[in-house]
Amino acid sequence: MSIKWTPDLSVGVDHIDDQHKIWFEKANELFEAGKERRAQEYINTMIDFLDEYTKKHFKDEEAYMEEIDYPELDAQKRAHASFIERLAKLKKDFNESGGNLLVIMDANKIVLDWLLNHIRSMDKKIGEYVKGMGN
């Protein structure tokens, strides 16, 4: 199952949308690597990149929400922290399983569901809030 960013996932804030697009691209590369049974080291490198990129994206997104006095910032921070924990667990599970690719395939669904639901239910509200500000 590949995951692709589609226009209906647009938040309406360019720098957030651009980062989401890269996130989808990298997540997809990770899952493709799992399907292709790439080496454990390669998959670990991908997980590390995804982890770092996710942290950077969340930090940027939260800074932007602070800048615009976004009312649901705390809920966003909690959701972000929860997802970062999930990624850490994915890496741990993958390594503890000796690089079991089923862990990556299961993660595909978890990550995809979280990402789509988070963007649709939470991030889109940022764009709506910005529009309401009259920008």
**Domain 11-132 CATH superfamily:** Hemerythrin-like (1.20.120.50)
Give the pLDDT score at 23.
Answer: 85
Q: How far is CA 117 from CA 34, 69, 71, in A?
A: 23, 23, 19
| Residue in 22, 86, 30, 29 with CA at minimum distance from that of residue 56 | 22
| Residue in 120, 20, 116, 122 with CA at minimum distance from that of residue 71 | 122
pTM assigned to the model:
0.85
Domain ranges of the chain: 11-132
pLDDT digits (tens, 9 = 90+) for 54-94: 999 999 999 999 999 999 999 999 999 999 998 888 888 88
CA distance 28 to 126: 25
Q: What is the radius of gyration, based on Cα positions, of the chain?
A: 16
pLDDT digits (tens, 9 = 90+) for 69-79: 999 999 999 99
